Amino acid sequence: MIIVMKAESTKKDIDHVLDSVEKAGLKGVLLQGTNRNVIAIIGDERVVPKDFWDVLPGVEKSVPILAPYKLASKEGKDFKTIIHFNNGKKIGGDHIAVIAGPCAIESKEQIIEIAKRVRDAGATALRGGAFKPRSNPYTFQGLKEEGLVHLARAREVSGLPIVTEVLTPEHVKLVSKYSDILQIGTRNMQNFLLLRAVGESGKPVILKRGMSATIEEFLLAAEYILAQNNPNVILCERGIRTFETHTRFTLSLSIVPQLKEMTHLPIIVDPSHGTGKRSLINPMSKGSIAVGADGLLIETHPEPEKSFVDGPQTITLESFDELMQELKPVAEAVGRKI
Ligand code: PEP
Ligand code: MN
């Protein structure tokens, strides 16, 4: 942290800042310029919030040097996080992970059929919602625990790891019992008690970006999970709210290379929620891989028009097969495998 003093600041102001730095257990070094005085703080500046310094008498501004999300940040770390599953599948590294399945689990037969088909097409994991976060309370809310039981059966049959959403801290234990990866939905990205609870569960977590969250807020949300000693966080871009109404959300693909500069965590893209349109899933999936995404989350269903939830953005199992074939050369072109 660098603290820039106002031109008119007094010796008393400077001494007060230096004193506060020392009280925080840090070291302050005064750099006297011709017009301005600057105080450099040595030590982990993140123990004190930035606005603490900004309001001290005589301070013009403070400039942080370290990212506030210290565990999520790439700073000082020379590794990339890779999440490994028992069956040899992984998320992160050279392989592109493709997680596919219906928005919601509708029946045992439905999820088992989808599991087998997406596995045969080369998917890494199976997704399916049992607890659904719906904007409208009168719509289908998911099969809840019954859905989790079907999902566990689909895992047994297909051998695929499973991903499902958890909505509340009270459900973390139950959902963890069945699922290999917990999903935090966009509407819960800043549900801090839930973030702590999934952190404590020790399960890998797919953290979806809040639809209005900045990149810094997104990484700070990941930090909540990492801070519980859970290193297995996968970031997921799923579209943000903008003025545009042609697509359901605006898929912000520039976040992928931007996050790669900032964090060691894997980042996947969900073009299904990001566009809301079946016809855009194939091109946006290719685009996601081209810009460096570590994986995709794709809604698939045998008969999307009969899907209980999110039919318009869901692709058929045949389209999923084709997509997987078409993604191969794109992955190869950017030095990855699928
Ligand atoms: C989902 O994955 O089905 C879902 C509800 O996603 P989001 O939280 O991104 O809307
Ligand atoms: Mn959905």
* Closest-approaching ligand to the CA atom of 268: 1
Lay out the sheet containing 27-32: strands in order across. Answer: 27-32, 37-42, 2-5, 59-63
pLDDT higher than 90, residue 87: no
Tell me what the pLDDT averaged over the chain comes to.
96
Strand-pair category, 97-101 with 295-299: parallel
For residue 238, the ligand 1 atom closest to its alpha carbon is 9
Residue among 169, 163, 67 at smallest CA distance from 123: 163
Q: In the predicted model, what is the mean pLDDT of residues 188-210?
A: 98
pLDDT higher than 90, residue 46: no
Distance 209 CA to ligand 1 centre (A): 10
pLDDT in tens, 268-293: 999 999 999 999 999 999 999 999 99
For residue 309, the ligand 1 atom closest to its alpha carbon is 3
Q: pTM for the whole thing?
A: 0.93
Q: Is 185 in the pocket of ligand 1 (CB under 6 A)?
A: yes
All domains in the chain, ordered by first residue? 2-63 (3.30.70.1140), 83-333 (3.20.20.70)
Q: In the predicted model, what is the mean pLDDT of residues 189-204?
A: 98
Q: Is 238 in the pocket of ligand 1 (CB under 6 A)?
A: yes
Q: In the predicted model, what is the mean pLDDT of residues 30-50?
A: 91
pLDDT higher than 90, residue 192: yes
Q: In 10 A of CB 310, how many CB atoms?
A: 19
pLDDT in tens, 1-35: 999 999 999 999 999 999 999 999 999 999 999 88
* Closest-approaching ligand to the CA atom of 187: 1
Q: Which residue has the CA at smallest separation from atom 4 of ligand 1?
A: 185
pLDDT higher than 90, residue 92: yes
Sign of CA dihedral 245, 297, 316, 253: positive
pLDDT in tens, 289-319: 999 999 999 999 999 999 999 999 999 999 9
Residue percentage of the chain with pLDDT more than 70 = 100
In whole angstroms, what is the distance from residue 125 CA to residue 183 CA?
13
For residue 184, the ligand 1 atom closest to its alpha carbon is 8
* Closest-approaching ligand to the CA atom of 240: 1
pLDDT value, residue 272: 98
* Closest-approaching ligand to the CA atom of 309: 2
Q: In the predicted model, what is the mean pLDDT of residues 225-239?
A: 97
pLDDT value, residue 262: 97
Q: Is 248 in the pocket of ligand 1 (CB under 6 A)?
A: no
Distance 274 CA to ligand 1 centre (A): 10
pLDDT value, residue 101: 98
pLDDT value, residue 85: 87
For a pocket test of ligand 1, which of 99, 103, 111 has the largest count of ligand atoms closer than 8 A to its C-beta? 103
pLDDT value, residue 35: 87
Structure-token pair, residue 301: 């269903």
Q: In the predicted model, what is the mean pLDDT of residues 126-147?
A: 98
pLDDT value, residue 47: 86
pLDDT higher than 90, residue 210: yes
Q: Which residue has the CA at smallest separation from atom 8 of ligand 1?
A: 185
In whole angstroms, what is the distance from residue 136 CA to residue 249 CA?
18
Distance 154 CA to ligand 1 centre (A): 20
Helix, strand, coil tally for the chain in percent (to 5): 40, 20, 40
**Can you list the alpha helix ranges (DSSP code H) found in the chain?**
11-23, 50-54, 108-121, 145-158, 172-178, 192-201, 215-226, 255-262, 271-275, 281-290, 317-333
Ligand 2 being an ion, which residues bring their Cβ within 5 A of it? 103, 310
